[in-house]
Amino acid sequence: MVQMRKWRPLLKLDDSASQASYRKIAEGLVTAIVEGRLPPGTLLPGTREMAQLLDVNRKTVILAYEEAMTKGWLVSEPRRGTFVNAQLTAKQLPSRAQAPFAPPILAQTTAPYFAQNAQVTALNHRHDALFFDNGTSDHRLLPQAVLHRYYRNALRNSFASNTLRYGSEGTGYHLRCALAEMLRNNRGLTVNAENICLTQGTQMSLYLTASLLLKPGDVVLVERLSYPPAWEIFRRLGAQLVTVDIDEEGCRTDQIDRLCREHKVRMIYLTPHHQFPTTVSLHAARRQQLLALAALHDFCIIEEDYDHEFHFSGRPYLPLASDRAQRHVIYVGSLSKVLGSTFRCSYVVAPTQVVEALHSNAALMLGDADAVAQKMLADLINDGELKKHLRRVSKEYRARRETLQDCLQAAFGDRIQVREPEGGLALWVRFDDAIDVDQIVSAALDHGLVVRSGRQFSPMDQAENALRLGFASLNQEEIREATLRLAQAASPHAHKNADHH
Ligand SMILES: Cc1ncc(COP(=O)(O)O)c(C=O)c1O
């Protein structure tokens, strides 16, 4: 309400100026109108009231209103009062017309990993651009007919039952039950639906979990190379990051022990199944040491198991969270690697009281999820369709991995070292010192190829002469072409290839 405003600051009245008071008020009114602080049609206080509010003589206000009226800024309507002229045009209100709404932004908004270089943005729109991503699946291989059928049924059943209402949580519960059963059967987790909080992606899972556990100043351990979106969250929450080295058996538990004696460590974030980005699987002995250290030093382990489904050799490790005696692991999973990144479904597995707190915080961000999609996902899991799909694509992904290995070998020979991972959808490729990976990444853009430099996975922004090359979202022909472009970018005579423009 205008009457409640503090009129002196609103009119920016300056007591020191030598102008007559009524002129100062008239000018203050006009500036406030032009700058949009008094919109057209606003009713002004009566002259007596305004005189009181501004602590001036009533005569001064009458003169000020008259001055603004003669110039067309205000209009007076008998028995109703004085208004800002509603007929003012955009031309008369230039600063209003020009100035977009710009609320002050209090926090830093762009985390470096998410800031996109203009050339990458441009390549996103080019049909011939190729992407070595972090290891995502290929949407072209999804069983479209099955998805159509399941989505249609989910839609029909959800609507026909008339059970969809705000806060009903029915389909969410079905999906939580389906996931719990999947985790019990395939990953050895002793959980039920009450231990599962659904979210719309790993990022949301990590954000919810970290914001529940961390306060500013807390120490969080992350590996020397790690998943940037995760540590960007911890930093945003005010945590202090400390890095732990990785070797061929995974994270160095001896260092964790030492760091816990130096700092009060609150949490460690890990991807033990296939370490991101190096693909190393955390060895069995290290797993036991890690769980023992968590119990000894009382820190929480966030175990992110982003691509558990894909293992190409031997039996996969069971998650740390499957250990019956452990009390310190919060497990985060996602359906994105099986079903692609469009069906946004991730989940946090934790003790029930943690899940309840996660739920109530999730509700602050996102009231209800897509109930039809949740029903579809639950049915796909319960009917074994997800498993069937996995069996089918695993063969193809394995072939793609071999193709990439062969192409890399042919293009770079002994100038690179390729880790043979036990699973996952990406290769970690080290380059010898004669090749500068940062330069390749930048030159690759000129060849229509996007690939992330190893440095981007370093929380401390240290150079890393390696690349993570996701192979699953490219078919074999695309893999060959992408490797060719990579080799061209690495050649000392690399030049822009006109064919790709
Ligand atoms: C380590 C890791 N976690 C999570 C994700 C993304 O998962 P979501 O789609 O559930 O956000 C990715 C995607 O590449 C990833 O590499």
Q: What is the pLDDT of residues 356-393, one digit of tens each?
A: 999 999 988 887 888 999 999 999 999 999 999 999 99
Specify if 112 maps to a domain: no
Using alpha carbons, select from 386, 349, 356 the residue that is nearest to residue 191.
349
DSSP 43: B
Give the model's pLDDT for residue 17: 63
Q: How far is the CA of 306 from the centre of ligand 1 (A)?
A: 6
Last residue of a domain, one of 324, 352, 383: 383
Cβ atoms of 425 and 310 within 8 Å: the answer is: yes
Give the model's pLDDT for residue 16: 67
CA pair distance 298, 205, nearest whole angstrom: 22
Specify if 106 maps to a domain: no
Q: Is the CB of 473 under 6 A from ligand 1?
A: no
DSSP 453: B
Domain with residue 149: its CATH number is 3.40.640.10
Any bridge partners for residue 81, and if so which? 77
Q: Is the CB of 336 under 6 A from ligand 1?
A: yes
Give the Å distances, CA to CA, from 17 to 52, 60, 495. 20, 16, 66
Cβ atoms of 340 and 307 within 8 Å: the answer is: no
Residue 478's CB: how many other CB atoms inside 10 A? Answer: 16
The per-residue pLDDT of the chain, averaged, comes to: 90
Specify if 250 maps to a domain: yes
Whether residues 148 and 297 fall in one domain: yes
Using alpha carbons, select from 398, 393, 383, 472 the residue that is nearest to residue 146.
383
Using alpha carbons, select from 461, 419, 421 the residue that is nearest to residue 438.
461
Domains contained in the chain, number: 3
Confidence band (pLDDT; 50, 70, 90) for 263?
very high
Nearest CA to ligand 1 atom 3: 306
Whether residues 132 and 211 fall in one domain: no
Cβ atoms of 450 and 129 within 8 Å: the answer is: yes
Give the model's pLDDT for residue 499: 44
CA pair distance 463, 448, nearest whole angstrom: 23
Cβ atoms of 321 and 331 within 8 Å: the answer is: yes
Ligand 1, closest atom to CA 470? 14
**Residue the block writes with tokens 């929480």:** 300
If you compute the radius of gyration of the chain from its CA atoms, what whole number of angstroms results?
A: 31
Q: What is the pLDDT of residues 114-134, one digit of tens each?
A: 777 788 888 888 889 999 999
Whether residues 180 and 254 fall in one domain: yes
> Which are the contacts of 136, defined by CB distance < 8 A and separation ≥ 6?
336, 337, 340, 341, 425, 470, 472, 473
Specify if 452 maps to a domain: yes
CA pair distance 251, 244, nearest whole angstrom: 7
Using alpha carbons, select from 187, 182, 265, 168 the residue that is nearest to residue 222.
265
Q: Is the CB of 201 under 6 A from ligand 1?
A: yes
Question: Is residue 498's pLDDT more than 80?
Answer: no
Q: Is the CB of 341 under 6 A from ligand 1?
A: yes
**Residue the block writes with tokens 């797993």:** 287
Give the model's pLDDT for residue 97: 52
Helices 284-297 and 253-262 meet at what angle, rounded to 10? 10
Write the secondary structure of 415-442 as one string of H (helix), E (strand) and C (coil).
Answer: HEEECCCCECCEEEEEECCCCCHHHHHH
Whether residues 132 and 194 fall in one domain: no
Using alpha carbons, select from 435, 486, 484, 487 the residue that is nearest to residue 464.
435
Last residue of a domain, one of 362, 383, 404: 383
Whether residues 406 and 427 fall in one domain: yes
Tell me which of 19 and 79 has the higher pLDDT: 79
Give the model's pLDDT for residue 1: 42
CA pair distance 230, 220, nearest whole angstrom: 11
Q: What is the pLDDT of residues 220-229, one digit of tens each?
A: 999 999 999 9
Using alpha carbons, select from 17, 18, 45, 40 the residue that is nearest to residue 30.
40
Give the model's pLDDT for residue 115: 73
Average pLDDT over residues 287-294: 98
Give the model's pLDDT for residue 3: 45
Whether residues 348 and 410 fall in one domain: no
Specify if 388 maps to a domain: no
Last residue of a domain, one of 320, 355, 383: 383
Residue 421's CB: how many other CB atoms inside 10 A? Answer: 22
Characterise 345 by phi-psi region: left (phi > 0), alpha (psi -120 to 50), beta (else): beta
DSSP 317: P
Three-class secondary structure of residue 307 per DSSP: coil
Whether residues 6 and 79 fall in one domain: yes
CA pair distance 289, 234, nearest whole angstrom: 24
Residue 299, domain extent:
142-383
Average pLDDT over residues 391-413: 96
Question: Is residue 494's pLDDT more than 60?
Answer: no
Confidence band (pLDDT; 50, 70, 90) for 464?
very high
Give the model's pLDDT for residue 496: 43
- The pair of structure tokens assigned to 283 is 């060895």
Report the run of H or E that residue 258 belongs to, with start and end. helix 253-262
Give the model's pLDDT for residue 495: 44
Using alpha carbons, select from 343, 352, 432, 422 the residue that is nearest to residue 386.
343
Q: What is the pLDDT of residues 54-71, one digit of tens each?
A: 889 999 999 999 999 999
CA pair distance 136, 185, nearest whole angstrom: 24
Confidence band (pLDDT; 50, 70, 90) for 7?
confident
Whether residues 193 and 321 fall in one domain: yes
Specify if 104 maps to a domain: no
**Residue the block writes with tokens 């390749």:** 440
Whether residues 147 and 132 fall in one domain: no
Whether residues 65 and 180 fall in one domain: no
- The pair of structure tokens assigned to 158 is 């959800």
Three-class secondary structure of residue 146 per DSSP: helix
Q: How far is the CA of 76 from the centre of ligand 1 (A)?
A: 62
Whether residues 249 and 163 fall in one domain: yes
Phi/psi at 220 (5° precision): -120, 130
Question: Is residue 316's pLDDT more than 50?
Answer: yes
Confidence band (pLDDT; 50, 70, 90) for 86?
confident
Ligand 1, closest atom to CA 203? 11
Phi/psi at 491 (5° precision): -70, 140
Give the model's pLDDT for residue 168: 73
Q: What is the pLDDT of residues 97-114, one digit of tens each?
A: 555 666 766 655 556 677
Specify if 473 maps to a domain: yes
Q: Is the CB of 134 under 6 A from ligand 1?
A: yes
List the alpha helices (DSSP H) in 383-421: 385-412
Specify if 208 maps to a domain: yes
End-to-end Cα separation, the chain, in angstroms: 58
Global pTM reads 0.80
Ligand 1, closest atom to CA 227? 1
Q: Is the CB of 226 under 6 A from ligand 1?
A: no
Domain with residue 64: its CATH number is 1.10.10.10
Average pLDDT over residues 148-158: 95
Question: Is residue 355's pLDDT more than 80?
Answer: yes
Return the best residue to mutate from 273, 306, 457 for the ligand 1 pocket (most ligand atoms within 8 A of CB).
Answer: 306
Domain with residue 419: its CATH number is 3.90.1150.10
Dihedral Cα 27, 33, 34, 39, nearest 10 deg: 180
- The pair of structure tokens assigned to 461 is 């922004």
Whether residues 132 and 156 fall in one domain: no
